Structure 1
């Protein structure tokens, strides 16, 4: 049976991040995809691009949700990424709670995009962390990076956290209400210098370190691949561990394909050939 998934994220006109990664992966995985745009940007917002156009979808964001309610449009799975304002997070949280009451089986996977390397992204501060903390209580899986996990839990930030420190932070997130937490971008260079991956925590003392190959280059979009791929597998009924192991393989092969092109990395990750292997029609 096909499932309908809603993507809540920004849309770049050019650049392989956000919805430009979410939609093809989710579609290749057999899900029927709809999108609630939070912002339109002319290109991805990395340092390689200048004169970027941004258009926040604030009023249209609210009106779109109202139209869906009026037309009895509902979803089986919702995956969230970038919100451009705290008001959008508030509106979506209210909308999700209403949808969850109508369908207790509704699944929410959440990437609380707001910060990295110990700093908030431009335009964000502690208020967005507070709003994400409220939404996180509704989530089946939350995918914060280390900075976001620290900010949401008011934990002092450290880029090189030990497994014990990661477990303490993830436990705080679980105690806040999320079903599972998968902290992304985890590295233990002293013990596993060629690995990167996820620290996963759940209820009943479930905890797991799931690693895949580390690449020294900085790629935009790996997080979007991770959340999108996991959404596919998890919505198909696989466990979070099985879903993340498959996701790690997709990331590895996609980055290998990208480097084989020998082109400027700003053009994005060449993940398309990987989809044919992992999601055969």
Structure 2
């Protein structure tokens, strides 16, 4: 069976972010990936210089129209990430609705990229579009803590708050919600970041059950770009592999991330030299070198069922 993904995200010529971060790992795992690049930049914006173009809503429509005219617009998955224009995002919504109508079994994985650490890095007028139009269409949602708070209007200060926020997000539409990073303290100490997940499952008898998990992710002292895009892509792949086992899907997803990040860190330190902080170029994810880990990740991070 061929599984085809439509991925609408940013693109960089050099390095790994957006579609560059998602496409190769999905292809390695056997998915066909059709990419629409919301922006095309020379490199990610963490470098000293960057140049490029932004795709408009009209240009997105033209691309989609071409796919449609050839009658090759049937997809099993949609994956969306960074978008910084309201009309563009609304056009994405129209495309998702049309593709879901054509294939009711389509799975939409949404990374609602809006901000982090209490700061928005997209225009504020995107929030109501995400909240009222995008999230209700999503099957799998991967916000960080700040984005989950924005979408629900609720602050997360405790694990109980986080569980309530995930339940509110379920009520908005998505069956699977993963808070990819939170500021909650880890029981394993400061060296770990806490992620939480929740999955609603309809049993054979029609009743609902819900699996909730906690994951302690080892922290690494460096700024990586494209890791969130990789996370959403791997969650798409591994939830397809384990549709009713969020624990297994998240363990494989986070373990892939860990292997890629550790390999990247080893390379970056060697390239920078003793005592020097690696540059953004040296910290680009070592994706190709991690092919074996992407295909068959050794589980190094275990999730705990709550």
Q: Same fold (TM over 0.5)?
A: yes
Residue among 207, 213, 222 paired with 1:208 = 213
**Do structure 1's residue 114 and structure 2's residue 118 form an aligned pair?**
no
Deviation at 1:222, TM superposition (A): 1.4
Residue 148 of structure 1: aligned partner:
147
Give the 3-state SS of the residue equivalent to 1:206 in structure 2.
strand
Residue 132 of structure 1: aligned partner:
130
TM-score normalised over the length of structure 2: 0.83
Deviation at 1:169, TM superposition (A): 1.6
Deviation at 1:59, TM superposition (A): 2.0
Cα distance in 1 between the residues matched to 2:246 and 2:96 = 22
- 5+ unaligned residues in a row in structure 1: which ranges? none
Residue 227 of structure 2: aligned partner:
222
More deviation in 17-26 or 263-272? 263-272
Compare CA radii of gyration and give the structure with the larger one: 2
Residue among 293, 296, 299 paired with 1:277 = 293
More deviation in 103-112 or 69-78? 69-78
Per-residue CA deviation, residues 184-221 of structure 1 (Å, 9 max, x unaligned), is 11354352322224211233343211233221222112
Cα distance in 1 between the residues matched to 2:57 and 2:43 = 19
Residue 90 of structure 2: aligned partner:
90
How large is the RMSD of aligned CA atoms in angstroms?
1.9
Give the 3-state SS of the residue equivalent to 2:252 in structure 1.
helix
- Verify the 8 A CA contact 1:41 1:52 in the aligned structure 2: yes
Residue among 204, 224, 233 paired with 2:238 = 233
The equivalences for 1:157-236 within 5 A come to 161-189=157-185, 191-192=187-188, 193-203=190-200, 204-236=209-241
- Verify the 8 A CA contact 1:43 1:49 in the aligned structure 2: no
Deviation at 1:177, TM superposition (A): 1.1
Give the 3-state SS of the residue equivalent to 1:183 in structure 2.
strand
Cα distance in 2 between the residues matched to 1:190 and 1:180 = 22
More deviation in 167-176 or 210-219? 210-219
